[in-house]
């Protein structure tokens, strides 16, 4: 990765690391690179989440794009998968989403989608980065300057995809936690359209509270509300929580217990396989996917292929292997028959439709998976390369000896935050925690307090 582009586009503290000047330069360079393959009469679609910095960065990136002569369609607040879907449905040149997904309020980000709806390759992002300060980029004048226009009605193109994919959800109560983010309208609306009784929480357009103690990053409020509704409502009650840009979703079942991404993927994979729609009987996960998930798939005659963490790497493995379905434990799920990127609302539509069609509770649909104790310790660091320090490598080797083939350890830098993540998994919870903390202490001892 380059200086600015990480595992999910450009991301940083808005007006700090990610300044309007940088957004302008990214807009110019991105439009110039896209012009190589796309006619100039095709616009670039630009959407954003609810963050307070969104309009500021949107104005800058739109200015950058239009300064090259390319037109822009601004769709406003929309889920990230909505930008990808709109881009392909109207045959736009590209799409841009302004969001930092699950990150804190002060962060923001810029991610591009190609005309095919897929995120840009590393090579294309590197080309954009190489042109950020290039004075030779196009700068037309007069009638050749690009035009920016608002086109909020285009969100219906994405909404119609969700409706088409859904089943009859009547009789089901769904609590929707929109995380004060991009799904604050689409999230509750889609389930109501499909016939469910909807209880919406954190569904305001309020970027000052996006991802704060709510949504997919904190399920406690959703669990509480689901349990309240269970106590007062006849019929099944379930819950879904989106993150800030709604490219991921996590769930709460009919007892108020959490269904993480592995369990959700198990349900969806079983359903696809049962209908003969899972190519090569293979699911693509990541190195973070629980060993219990892999064992459960094996018992169904299904195979797990592990990719690096990040939905772009899951997608890369899917497309490279000719697979349809994959995702992450964190809630990113990709079904290439229904979209080109992680899609929280689409995942929820698929999951709830299976439960309704089979008249089976979510917890029963996910039965047969024993979760191996897994501990994830995030160590905040000044330099993420500390994970390659000889002392850390020695600590990892010592941990592997303790686990003795009965578990695994993964130490990796975060692609979006100044963190080194230590993940340990084994059959013994106490040992798992001790090993993770031991390696984390080594890392903390090598980095200044931040």
What are residue 165's phi and psi, to 5 degrees? -85, -15
Q: In the listed set 156, 186, 202, which residue is the last one of a domain according to the structure?
A: 156
Please report the pLDDT score of residue 449 as a whole number: 59
Across the chain, what does the average pLDDT equal?
A: 95
Residues 59 and 118 in one domain: yes
pLDDT in the model for residue 53: 98
Mark whether 438 is an active-site residue.
no
Q: Does pLDDT of 192 surpass 80?
A: yes
> For the chain, what is the domain count?
3
Are residue 180 and residue 328 in the same domain, yes or no? yes
Tell me if 20 sits within 8 A of 57, measured CB to CB: yes
Instruction: Give the span between the Cα atoms of 84 and 158, in whole angstroms.
Output: 9
The residue among 125, 156, 187 that closes a domain is 156
Q: Given 53, 99, 101, 353, which residue is catalytic?
A: 101
Do 101 and 29 have their domain in common? yes
CA distance 264 to 431: 27
Q: What is the β-pairing status of strands 72-77 and 107-113?
A: unpaired
Burial class (CB in 10 A: 0-12, 13-18, 19+), 337: exposed
pLDDT on residue 2: 62
Are 82 and 146 in a shared domain?
Answer: yes
Q: In terms of domains, do 349 and 379 share one?
A: no
How far apart, in whole angstroms, are the C-alpha atoms of residue 352 and residue 354? 5
Q: Are residues 189 and 322 in the same domain?
A: yes
Residue 383 · residue 374 · CB < 8 Å: no
Host domain of residue 292: 166-365
Burial 287-301, CB ≥16 within 10 A → b, else e: ebbbbbbbebbeebe
**Distances from the Cα of 88 to the Cα of 84, 115, 117, 187, angstroms:** 7, 6, 6, 21
Same-domain check for residues 151 and 189? no
For residue 19, give the H/E element and its range: none
Residue 137 has pLDDT above 80, yes or no: yes
What CA–CA distance (Å, rounded) separates 244 from 371?
27
The candidate with the shortest Cα–Cα distance to 329, out of 362, 374, 298, is: 374
- Asked if residue 450 belongs to a domain, the reply is no
- Using the predicted structure, report yes or no on whether residue 259 has a pLDDT greater than 70: yes
Asked if residue 338 is part of any domain, the answer here is yes
Residues 123 and 171 in one domain: no
Reported as a pLDDT band with limits 50, 70 and 90, residue 450 is low
Is residue 194 located within the same domain as residue 328?
A: yes
161 occurs within a structural domain = no
Same domain, 349 and 221: yes
Residue 161, strand partner residues: none
Q: What predicted TM-score, i.e. pTM, was given to this entire model?
A: 0.89
Same domain, 172 and 80: no
Q: Which residues are annotated as a binding site for Mg(2+)?
A: 101, 243, 245, 247
Q: Identify whether 11 is part of a domain.
A: yes
Do 182 and 46 belong to one domain?
no
Can you tell me the mean pLDDT for 124-142?
96
């Amino acid at each position: 990765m380059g200086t600015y582009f990480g595992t999910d586009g450009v991301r940083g503290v808005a007006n700090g690391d990610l300044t309007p000047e940088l957004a302008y330069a990214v807009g110019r360079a991105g439009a110039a690179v896209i012009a190589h393959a796309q006619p100039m009469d095709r616009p670039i679609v630009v959407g954003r989440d609810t963050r307070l910095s969104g309009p500021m960065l949107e104005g800058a990136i739109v200015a950058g794009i239009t300064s090259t002569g390319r037109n822009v369609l601004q769709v406003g607040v929309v889920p990230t998968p909505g930008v990808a879907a709109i881009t392909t449905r109207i045959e736009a040149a590209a799409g841009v989403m302004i969001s930092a997904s699950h990150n804190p309020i002060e962060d923001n980000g810029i991610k591009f989608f190609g005309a095919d709806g897929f995120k840009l390759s590393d090579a294309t992002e590197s080309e954009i980065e190489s042109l950020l300060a290039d004075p030779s980029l196009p700068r037309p004048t007069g009638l050749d300057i690009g035009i920016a226009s608002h086109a909020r009605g285009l969100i219906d193109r994405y909404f119609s995809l969700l409706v088409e994919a859904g089943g009859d959800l009547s009789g089901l109560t769904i609590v929707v936690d929109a995380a004060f983010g991009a799904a604050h309208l689409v999230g509750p609306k889609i389930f109501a359209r499909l016939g469910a009784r909807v209880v919406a929480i954190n569904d305001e357009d309020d970027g000052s509270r996006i991802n704060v103690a709510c949504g997919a990053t904190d399920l406690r409020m959703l669990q509480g509300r689901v349990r309240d509704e269970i106590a007062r409502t006849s019929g099944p009650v379930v819950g879904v929580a989106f993150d800030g840009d709604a490219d991921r979703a996590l769930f709460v079942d009919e007892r108020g217990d959490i269904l993480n991404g592995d369990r959700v993927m198990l349900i969806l994979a079983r359903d696809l396989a049962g209908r003969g729609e899972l190519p090569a009987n293979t699911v693509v996960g990541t190195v973070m996917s629980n060993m219990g998930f892999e064992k459960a798939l094996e018992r169904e005659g299904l195979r797990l292929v592990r990719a690096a963490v990040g939905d772009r790497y899951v997608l890369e493995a899917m497309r490279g292997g000719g697979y349809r379905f994959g995702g992450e434990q964190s809630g990113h799920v990709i079904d290439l028959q229904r979209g080109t990127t992680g899609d929280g609302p689409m995942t929820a539509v698929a999951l709830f439709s299976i439960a309704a069609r089979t008249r089976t509770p979510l917890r029963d649909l996910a039965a047969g998976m024993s979760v191996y104790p897994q501990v994830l310790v995030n160590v905040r660091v000044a330099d993420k390369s500390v994970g390659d320090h000889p002392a850390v490598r020695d600590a990892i080797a010592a941990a592997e000896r303790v686990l003795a083939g009965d578990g695994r350890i993964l130490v990796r830098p975060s692609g979006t935050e100044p963190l080194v993540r230590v993940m340990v998994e084994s059959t013994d919870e106490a040992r798992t925690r001790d090993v993770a903390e031991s390696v984390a202490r080594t890392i903390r001892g090598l980095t200044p307090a931040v």
